[in-house]
Amino acid sequence: MPYRKIMDISHIYNGEDNRVMYAKPGENIKIRVKGLDENDIMRGMVIVNPNNQCYVCNDIEVRL
């Protein structure tokens, strides 16, 4: 959710830099977006539907 800004995905590219219509879960892709500067996107940010955002937490408890 880069800075909670609304953006549009204009193109999706697969691993061979071919333009595709969609991507499946687990695929490595490149995207071209409108409405957001390239410098605003960093590794680890998540792109989500604004109507179905992911949960944010400060603490997590795990058992190893």
What is the distance in angstroms between the CA of the first residue and the CA of the last residue of the chain? 29
β-sheet bridge partners, residue 13: 19, 30
Domain ranges of the chain: 1-64
**Full-model pTM:** 0.62
Measured distance CA(54)–CA(56) in Å, rounded:
7
Which tens digit of pLDDT belongs to each residue from 6-44?
888 899 999 889 999 999 888 989 989 888 888 888 887
Distant-in-sequence, close-in-space partners of 58: CB < 8 Å, separation ≥ 6: none
Res 59 pLDDT > 80:
yes
